Amino acid sequence: MKESRRLNGSNCEQALPIVKAFGAREVYIYAMGMEPWYEYFMGLAYQEDSKQLCEARSFIAACGRMNVDARLLFGSHSVSYPVGT
């Protein structure tokens, strides 16, 4: 089953209902293969107008309209929450 998901994730239209269903306050887009070494072994080389990046930007904008903080991760990102939240 995991082979069927390779290089094929959700688009903005598919992801927004998940944000709404869980009442998310923050959303992180990850595992898009944007790191430079992915180009070597997966053949990924995104351009600014690549469908994946356009969908990510649409999703981030839609989340912003819902007052949900959304970020496209690259490399690493640290998240910490106070105990009890």
CA pair distance 26, 29, nearest whole angstrom = 10
Q: What is the pLDDT of residue 19?
A: 96
Q: Could you give phi then psi for residue 31, rounded to 5 degrees?
A: 60, 45
pLDDT (0 to 100) of residue 14: 93
Q: What is the pLDDT of residue 79?
A: 77
CA distance 53 to 25: 22
Put simply, whether the predicted model's pTM sits higher than 0.85 gets the answer no
For position 78, what pLDDT does the model report?
78
Which mean pLDDT values do the consecutive 10-residue runs of the chain (85 residues) have?
59 94 93 73 76 92 97 80 71
